[in-house]
Amino acid sequence: MTLRHNCSIMSNPPISFGTDGWRAVIADDFTYERVRAVAQGVARYLANDPRPIVVGHDARFSAELFAREVARVLAANGRSVLLLDRVTPTPSACWTVVQRKAAGAIVVTASHNPSEFNGLKYKPDFGGSAPPEVVAEIEKYSNAALDNNTVTAMSWPDAEQSGLIAMVDPTPDYLAQLGTMVDLPRIRGAGLRLLHEAMYGAGRGLMRAPLEGGRTVVDELHAERNPGFGGMHPEPIARYMPQALAVMANGGHDLCIANDGDADRVGVIDERGRFVNQLEVAALFAMYLLEKRGERGDLVRSLTSTGMLDLLAQRFGVPCHETPVGFKYIGTKMTETNALFGAEESGGFAFRGHLPERDGVLAGLIVAEMVIAYERPLSKVIEHLTELVGKWSYDRHDIRFERDGYAQRKARVYASMESDMPSQIAGSQVVRTRTDDGFKFYLDDGSWVLLRMSGTEPLMRIYSEAPDPQRVKELLAALEERVGVTAPPAGATA
Tell me the residue type at 133: E
Residue whose C-alpha is closest to residue 73's, from 118, 42, 45, 27: 42
Q: Where are the alpha helices (DSSP H) in 213-338?
A: 242-249, 278-287, 308-316, 327-337
Q: Are 142 and 57 in contact (CB under 8 A)?
A: no
**DSSP label at residue 129:** P
User: Which of 90, 101, 85 is closest to 21 using CA atoms?
Assistant: 90
Cα separation of 258 and 252, whole Å? 17
By the 8 A CB rule, do 39 and 54 touch?
A: no
CB 75 within 8 A of CB 162: yes
User: How many C-beta atoms lie closer than 10 Å to residue 64's C-beta?
Assistant: 17
What's the start-to-end Cα distance of the chain, in Å?
Answer: 54
**Integer Cα distance of 434 and 263 in angstroms:** 30
3-class SS at 443? strand
Rounded to an integer, what distance in angstroms lies between the CA atom of residue 9 and that of residue 69?
14
- 446, 453 Cβ separation under 8 angstroms: no
- Per-residue confidence of the chain (494 residues) as pLDDT tens digits? 344 444 444 446 899 998 789 999 999 999 999 999 999 999 999 999 999 999 999 999 999 999 999 999 999 999 999 999 999 999 999 999 999 999 999 999 999 999 999 999 999 999 999 999 999 999 999 999 988 888 999 999 999 999 999 999 999 999 999 999 999 999 999 999 999 999 999 999 999 999 999 999 999 999 999 999 999 999 999 999 999 999 999 999 999 999 999 999 999 999 999 999 999 999 999 999 999 999 999 999 999 999 999 999 999 999 999 999 989 999 999 999 999 999 999 999 999 999 999 999 999 999 999 999 999 999 999 999 999 999 999 999 999 999 889 989 999 999 999 999 999 999 999 999 999 999 999 999 999 999 999 876 789 999 999 999 999 999 999 999 998 887 765 444 45
User: What is the widest separation between alpha-carbon atoms in the chain?
Assistant: 73
User: Could you give the domains of the chain?
Assistant: 22-169 (3.40.120.10), 171-272 (3.40.120.10), 393-483 (3.30.310.50)
Residues 6+ away with beta carbon under 8 Å from 7: 33, 36, 37, 149, 150, 151, 153
Give the DSSP H/E element, type plus range, for residue 425.
strand 424-425
CA 7 – CA 460 distance, rounded (Å): 36
How far apart are alpha carbons 2 and 11 in whole angstroms? 27
Neighbours of 166 (CB within 10 A): 12
User: Which residue in 252, 224, 349 sits closest to 299, CA to CA?
Assistant: 349
CB-CB contact of 107 with 93 (8 Å): yes
Q: What is the dihedral of CA 80, 82, 83, 84, to 10 degrees?
A: 180
Strand order of the β-sheet with 393-400 is: 393-400, 459-466, 448-453, 439-443, 428-434, 424-425
Q: 10 Å Cβ neighbour count for 398?
A: 19
- Beta-strand relationship, 275-276 and 299-302: unpaired
Cα 117 → chain centroid? 15
* Dist. CA 193–CA 172, nearest whole Å: 24
Spatial distance between the Cα atoms of 160 and 153, rounded to a whole number of angstroms: 13
CA distance 225 to 229: 8
